Copies of this chain bind each other. A is one copy, B any other.
Amino acid sequence: MPQNKIDPWSSIEITDYEHVFEKFGLDRFPDNYKKKLKHIFFERNIIVAHRDFDKVMARISSKKPFINMTGIASSGYLHLGHKVDIDLFIHFKSLGAKNYFAVSDIDAYNSREKIKTMKDAKELAVNNLAHALALGLSEKDCYVQSKKDQRYYEFTFEIAKKITKNMYEAIYGHTDLGKIQAVLLQIADIIHPQLPEYEGKMPSVTGIGLEQDPHAKITRDVARRLSYNIEIPSFIYFKHQSGLQKGKKMSSSEPDTAIFLEDKPDEVKRKLSKAFTGGRDTIDEQKEKGGNPDICKIYEIYRFHHPDSKFVETTYKNCKKGLLMCGDDKQTCINFLNDFLKKHQAKVKEKLPAAKKIIFN
């Protein structure tokens, strides 16, 4: 059986990553870990690599706690790409983690030109936090940078002393003050849970995209230089869900590249209707040669977000076999997303007052 040809969880890009892993010094995410971690992101090859994850895996296997840390820099409204971060975080939470989900309002203010005031950053943070709560986080899993305690802030200053100018410039190629502050916060976010005032020394995991590896490296360097007794933080790397158009990334500044968690049904319909599928020019040709799910944006939505692996596999195979037409598939996906978003948006509405209270009280 030509397995490569009909594996719905393979993709051209993953094989392309191999040389990147080697260059960066990353380890490919092991198959036996994928099986043990029992989540669509592992099953479907969305998590592709890691740095030092073995010690976290050992904690999970022996049912000991570990630190689960991620964050969202609230530069705009959340889209399906952010949902991947949050879904992964929630999965680690279910595996017995100590949870640190950062709503990174100060980071967003410092790193994004378009956010002009801290007040704007905080208003976005309210929205982002409400979405995170609606996706399944509880209030105690989350913190907002601008509401953090003194120890956290003090720690950002301790971190600054451990980063030389040369080390910083080699990684980031700039020394813009606002962006330096954002980096200091990101490093503090990842390491601070291991300070004696929080959990103490404990393996920690943070999921990031491959292009964020420089952050991981500087964070690990700083962790080594600090005088605290801590574990060097571990990272796992996911493949990003791409934009709805061919060759595009999902981007908050180009709303049509992504489905946002606040999109209304007609926006979802409009965006998916014109999404790239890689389908054939005619229905006859599609029936004869089959579709190309490996490059299809609709299939990609299923792969990242549809909970039913059986459904996703069947869709993949039917597409390949020419049994599924792009128009029908898009309609199925529109229904799937709108159904999800309707329920989700109702929960967001419920969570907004709590989010507002957390950030502005």
Checking B147, B150, B176 against A148 with a beta-carbon cut-off of 8 angstroms, the contacting residue is: B150
A106 to B153, CA, bound (A): 10
Tell me which residues from 109 to 132 in chain A have a Cβ below 8 Å from any Cβ of chain B.
Answer: 109-110, 116-118
Q: How many copies does the complex hold?
A: 2
The distance from the CB of A304 to the nearest CB of chain B, in whole angstroms, is 33
Tell me how far the C-beta of A354 lies from the nearest C-beta in chain B, rounded to whole angstroms: 20
Inter-chain contacts of A149 with B (CB < 8 A): 150
From residue A261, how far is it (CB to closest CB) to chain B in Å?
Answer: 27
B153, B160, B163: the one within 8 Å of A153 (CB): B153
A168 in the interface (beta carbon within 8 A): yes
Query: Closest CB-CB distance, A223 to chain B, in whole Å?
Result: 16
Complex contact B161–A178 (CB within 8 A): yes
A interface, over-half SS:
helix
Asked if A212 lies at the interface with its beta carbon under 8 angstroms from chain B, I say: no
Chain A, 145-177, contact with B by CB distance < 8 Å: what is the 0/1 string? 011111001101110110111001000001111
In contact, B158 and A165 (Cβ under 8 angstroms): no
- A181 contacts B157, C-beta separation under 8 Å: yes
CB within 8 Å for A109 and B165 given contacts A150-B146, A150-B149 = no
Is A180 in the interface zone, CB < 8 Å from B?
Answer: yes
In the complex, chain B residues whose CB is within 8 Å of the CB of A178 = 160-161, 163
Q: Which of B110, B148, B153 is A161 in contact with, Cβ under 8 Å?
A: B110
Residues of B within 8 A of A227 (CB): 116-117
B150–A147 CB distance below 8 A: yes
The distance in angstroms between the C-alpha atoms of A149 and B154, with both chains bound, is: 11
Contact-size category for A: 20 to 34
CA–CA, A146 to B146, complex, Å? 16
Given contacts A165-B174, A177-B180, contact A160 B110 (CB under 8 A): yes
The answer to whether A157 and B117 have CB atoms under 8 Å apart is no
Give the Cβ gap from A214 to chain B, nearest Cβ, in Å. 16
Contact A180 B153 (CB under 8 A): no
Q: Give every chain B residue within 8 A of A163 (Cβ-Cβ).
A: 177-178
Inter-chain CA distance A146–B197, complex, in Å, is 15
- Distance A148 CA – B157 CA, assembled complex (angstroms): 13
CA distance A178 to B117 in the complex (A): 25
Greatest chain B CB density within 10 A among A116, A147, A158 is at A158
Contacting pair A106 B157 (CB below 8 A): yes
Q: How far is the CA of A177 from the CA of B147 in the complex (A)?
A: 24
- B165 and A177 within 8 A (CB): yes
Choose from B109, B110, B177, B185 the contact partner of A164 (Cβ within 8 Å): B177
Within 8 A of B (CB), among A91-110: 106, 109-110
State the CA gap A157–B121 with chains docked (Å).
Answer: 12
CB contacts under 8 Å to B, within A213-227, are 227
What 15 new A-B contacts, CB under 8 Å, besides A109-B157, A109-B158? A106-B157, A110-B157, A110-B160, A117-B227, A118-B154, A118-B157, A118-B158, A148-B150, A150-B150, A153-B153, A157-B181, A157-B185, A160-B181, A165-B177, A180-B180
Q: Which A residues from 167 to 201 make CB contacts under 8 A with B?
A: 168, 174-178, 180-181, 184-185
CB distance from A106 to the nearest CB of B (A): 5
Can you name 12 A-B residue pairings with CB atoms under 8 Å? A106-B154, A109-B157, A110-B160, A118-B158, A148-B150, A157-B185, A160-B181, A161-B177, A163-B178, A164-B176, A165-B176, A177-B184
A152 CB → nearest B CB, Å: 9
Tell me which of A109, A154, A168, A176 has the highest count of chain B C-beta atoms within 10 A of its own C-beta. A154
